Structure 1
C-alpha cells in the first residue's frame, strides 16, 4: 500500500458510511416515524408525504456540529469526562430549540393541508416542550446511537491514518539510517579495494570507479522517493555483488539476476540489499575458502523472488550481535507497510547456515 500521493482509503469509507446513515436512518427510519403519527390521514390523496423526508433531514441537522466538531475535538484532547458532561448538556437543550425552529419554518412555509395542520400541531407540542427538562428521549436516543457510531468510526480511522503516517515517517527515517550505515561501511571497503587495484595497475579500475559512482548516486538521489524503478534497484544489487566479488576473489559466490522487463516495474528501494550485506558481513567466506554465498533474484510476471543462502562460522561470543539485526527488522517493517498481504518472507538460521526466501507481489 502506497501512502504517498494517494488519499487514505479510510476517508472514503467513512464518508460512504456517513452518507448511508443519513439515507437509511434519517431518510427512511425517521421519515417512517413521522408518518406513523395519528396527526396525518392515510387517505389516497395525501400519503406518502415526500416533504416529510426533507423535514426529517432538517430536524436532524442539530447533531452535525456535535459529531463533526464538538465530539471529535474533545476526543482528540482526550477529555472524555468533559465530553460526557458536554454531551448531556448539548442533548438536553439544543434539540429543543432546533426542533422548535425547524418546525416553525415548515409551519410558516407550508400552505396545503394536511401538512399545515401537522406542522402546527407539532409546533405547539415543541413549544410546550421548551419548558420541560427532557424532550422525546426515545427519539434522541436513536439519534445519539446512529451518529455516535459515525463520530467514533471517524475518530478511529483518523487515528489509524495518523498511525500509518507515523509508521511511514519512522520507516523513512530508518531507511535514511540504513543508507547512512551503508555509506561508510561499504564506501571505505570499496575504496580500499579500488586503491589496491590502482596500485597493481588493474585495467578494470576505471570500471569499478564508475560502478561506485553509480551506486552512490542511486543511494543519495533515487532512494529519496518511496518507489524506484526495479531496473535501477537491481543494477545497484549487481554493482554491489561485483564489488564484493572483487574483495573476496577466492570465495564461492554464485548469484544470478534474472529480471527481464524490470524497467517497467516499481519497487520500494533497498529491500534486497540488507540480506546480501548480511551474507557478506557474516558469511564464512571471510575466513575460510569453503565459504559460499548462493542466490537467485528473479522476476516472473509481477512477482519478485529472492533465494539466498550462505554458510556461517558460529562463535558463541558473549557480546555477539544477532545475525541480521536492525537492517532485517527494518526490511520486514517496510515490507509490511508497502506490500501488506503481498509478500512472504522465510528466514532459516542455524549455527552453520543462513537462508532467506522472499517473494514480493509488485
Structure 2
C-alpha cells in the first residue's frame, strides 16, 4: 500500500482525534471516581474497532447497497460480541477497582455508571459515529469521482470541438494562400511563413491548457496579416489593442472564430472589406469587440457556423458564469461584444 501525503495527513488526523477522545474519557472518570478502571482503558483501546468496522465494512457493503436487514443484524451481532469479549477477557480486572471501600450510596452509583452505563454508551456512540463517518466519506468520495468524470467528459468534448476547429481554420487559410499563388503574388512566400507560425502555435501551445494572452493576440495579428495579403482592399481592416495583458492567461482559440467569421462575411460585392476589432484589457477583464459589414457572400448551409457554435460551447465550459456574449445585426453590420473575466 502506497502512503501518499494526503493519506498520511488523514492518518495523523484520525490518531489525533482518538487521543482527544481518550483523554476526555479518562478525565471524566478521574473526576467522577478518582481513578480509571482497567476495563475502561481496554474499551478505549478497542472502541476504534467498532468505529472502523462500521465505517469501512458494514456501511459500504450493506447499508449503501440497500441491504438494510443485513446491516441491522450485523450491527447488533457486532455490538453483542464486542461487549461480551471485552467483559469476558478484561472484566475481572474491574473487580479490583470495586474492592475499594464504598462510603456512600452515591459512590456505588458512580461506580455502576462507570461499569455498565458509560461503557455501553461509549461503545454505541463510537459505532454510530463510525456509521456517520462512513456515510459522509462515501458521499464526498462519490462526489469527487463524479466531478472528475464530468471534467474528463468536458475535456473530451473540448478536444473534439478543437479538432473540428483546426481543420476548419486550415481550410480557410489554405484557401487564402491559394488566391495568392493563383494570382502569382509576391506575398505568397510570406503567407506560407505566416501560416507555419500559426500552425506551430496551434500544435505546440493549444494543448497546454491556458496560454499567455500576449501569445494569443500575436496569433490573431498573424492571422489578420495573412488575410490582408489576399485582399485587394484591406485599408478598412483595423485592430486596436489596449491595456496591460503581458501577465494574463486565456484558453486558446476562443477569439479567432469570431474574427474568421468577420473575414468570411465582411466583404462587399465590390471587394471592399470592413472589419473593426477592438481588444481592451483592464485588470483581469478582457473586452473583445468585432464589427464587420454584412457582405453579399453566399452562405454555405452545410459548413457555416461550425466555428461559431464551437466557440460558444467552449465559452460555456471554460468560463461559465464568468463571461458575457452579445451578438447583434444592425444597420448592415454584424457586432460581437464579448466580456471575459480571466480567472
What are the within-5 Å matches in structure 2 for residues 107-256 of structure 1?
113=97, 140=124, 142-143=125-126, 146-248=129-231, 250=233, 252-256=236-240
Partner of 1:358: 339
Flag the 1:150–1:114 CA change in 2: closer, same or farther, 3 A: same
Flag the 1:20–1:62 CA change in 2: closer, same or farther, 3 A: closer
Flag the 1:146–1:298 CA change in 2: closer, same or farther, 3 A: farther
Match of 1:27 among 21, 45, 52: 21
Partner of 2:50: 62
Partner of 1:296: 278
Partner of 2:105: none
Alignment gaps of 5+ in structure 1: 1-6, 127-134
Root mean square deviation, CA, Å: 5.0
Flag the 1:287–1:104 CA change in 2: closer, same or farther, 3 A: farther
Flag the 1:295–1:81 CA change in 2: closer, same or farther, 3 A: same
Shift of 1:253: 3.0
Shift of 1:92: 0.9
How many residues of Structure 1 are paired with residues of Structure 2 in the alignment?
A: 321
Work out the CA distance in 2 between the residues paired with 1:51 and 1:361: 62
Shift of 1:59: 1.2
Residues 30 and 56 of structure 1 are in contact (CA less than 8 Å); yes or no, is this contact kept in structure 2? no
Deviations 1:106-131 (A, max 9, x none): 65889985799x9x9899969xxxxx
Work out the CA distance in 2 between the residues paired with 1:51 and 1:164: 46
Match of 1:42 among 18, 32, 49: 32
What are the within-5 Å matches in structure 2 for residues 82-121 of structure 1?
82=67, 84-102=68-86, 113=97
Work out the CA distance in 2 between the residues paired with 1:312 and 1:50: 90
1:329 equivalenced with 2:321 (yes/no): no
Q: What is the SS of the residue equivalent to 1:347?
A: strand
Work out the CA distance in 1 between the residues paired with 2:258 and 2:180: 27
Shift of 1:307: 1.9
User: What is the TM-score when the length of structure 2 is the normalising length?
Assistant: 0.69
1:81 equivalenced with 2:66 (yes/no): yes
Q: What is the SS of the residue equivalent to 1:269?
A: coil
1:347 equivalenced with 2:326 (yes/no): yes
Deviations 1:179-231 (A, max 9, x none): 32223222122122223323444343333212211222222232222233333
Flag the 1:157–1:268 CA change in 2: closer, same or farther, 3 A: farther
Asked which structure has the greater CA Rg, the reply is 2
What are the within-5 Å matches in structure 2 for residues 253-264 of structure 1?
253-258=237-242, 260=244, 262=246, 264=247
Flag the 1:197–1:289 CA change in 2: closer, same or farther, 3 A: closer
Flag the 1:344–1:223 CA change in 2: closer, same or farther, 3 A: same
Flag the 1:191–1:65 CA change in 2: closer, same or farther, 3 A: same
